[in-house]
A = this chain, B = another copy of it.
């Protein structure tokens, strides 16, 4: 993409009405625009990143047998009354003025929809297990929405629901889902600082599990056992008597963290509410055992910015970078510079490499500063100097070292990343 064609502009000004680093930086770099507290427009660069995260999530869910569908945001009140959550669920947006005189909520989660849907298709043990999921815009009437993309009133969420004949089968899938989640965090560059975290299980299970990414911006406090590489959420640390649930180690490290995912064993909580049963091999009816598995692509986007940046801007992990390469043409009276930049742009694009090409009439300094702010994984510079050296200047955003490479070397470096 030619940067001269992008309709949005980066800005040096820090937005005054944002306190979170991720929102400030994503707004300055032209990834998002703030419409209201916790409500953002994804601009072209931002939508590219959001789409990449969603696609990673989709691929990893498909690998463990997930079947993608799309459930509605508008949820009838009756469904939420069946589970007693209409009056008790924190932060529901409610709509009373529907033209069919019904009340609706804007769903922040979809147990109330997926359970009666499963009921239409699950009758026998032969129909189980199933793993429907969707990646969908959700709504929460948050009291505080000051953490940028980390806590939005409107946000993107993947929620998968699993349906099983028994607890053993749920437990097996639950472990598969954990592995898939770590694979997602690895691909999003968050693996090293993300911990499987024991949290409150509600009325049906001893624990639920969160995935917590250590970050100053986090709203949660976790206690890490470095021996086991797991953590405990502060909400249950007293019940744990301050020890690791795995090895009872008492020397836990306290950190602020962002909850980037969570998985719950729902057991029969929702299947009982809706009467979702299956017939087993002996012809007996049993309630279906359920689990749920959430992860927020927009929250991951905010978290990545919180943990991967320097004082010049964002440093995108390779799989999330809005463009793999930021190509910068250093303005020059020498016509060859423009020609050479156009040529390498075409060649990279023809190799299906995503390139943001800064073809604008700006000073080299302004271009470099904006490039660091945007944070594409690789930077390639074409200038009089590089032409004299018969190559291209190549630099990773996460390194201070640049090198001059031939076209073949350049393409190889980019393609193997």
A-side residues, CB < 8 A to B, are: 5-9, 33, 35-37, 39-44, 46-47, 50, 65, 67-76, 91, 93-95, 97-100, 102, 104, 106, 113, 117-118, 120-122, 127, 130, 132, 137, 139, 141-143, 145, 153-154
Contacts and interface: CB of A to CB of B under 8 A. Distances in A.
Contacts of A37: 100
Contacts of A35: 71-72, 74-76, 113
A97 B105 CA distance: 11
Given A35-B113, A44-B69, 10 more contacts: A5-B65, A7-B127, A7-B130, A35-B74, A41-B113, A43-B69, A47-B70, A73-B139, A74-B154, A99-B143
A51 to B, nearest CB: 9
A121 B41 contact: no
Nearest to A43: B69
B99 A154 contact: no
Contacts of A50: 70
A115 to B, nearest CB: 12
Given A41-B117, A93-B95, A73 B154 contact: yes
A61 to B, nearest CB: 12
A142 B98 CA distance: 8
A7 B126 CA distance: 11
A93 B102 contact: no
A32 to B, nearest CB: 10
Given A41-B113, A121-B8, A36 B76 contact: yes
A257 to B, nearest CB: 24
Q: How many copies does the complex hold?
A: 2
Given A120-B33, A121-B8, A41 B70 contact: yes
Nearest to A36: B76
Counting from the closest, the 10 A-B pairs by CB-CB distance are A7-B130, A42-B70, A99-B143, A41-B71, A39-B72, A99-B141, A74-B154, A39-B74, A36-B76, A72-B154
A8 B68 CA distance: 12
Contacts of A36: 74, 76, 100, 102, 104
Contacts of A122: 7
Given A97-B94, A97-B141, A41 B69 contact: yes
Contact of A47 (B9, B39, B69, B100): B69
B74 A47 contact: no
B72 A44 contact: no
Contacts of A117: 33, 41
A97 to B, nearest CB: 6
Contact of A74 (B75, B76, B130, B153): B153
A72 to B, nearest CB: 5
A140 B8 CA distance: 29
21 contacts: A7-B118, A33-B117, A33-B120, A35-B75, A35-B76, A35-B113, A36-B100, A39-B72, A40-B72, A41-B70, A41-B71, A43-B69, A73-B137, A74-B139, A74-B153, A91-B99, A95-B95, A98-B141, A99-B142, A106-B106, A137-B137
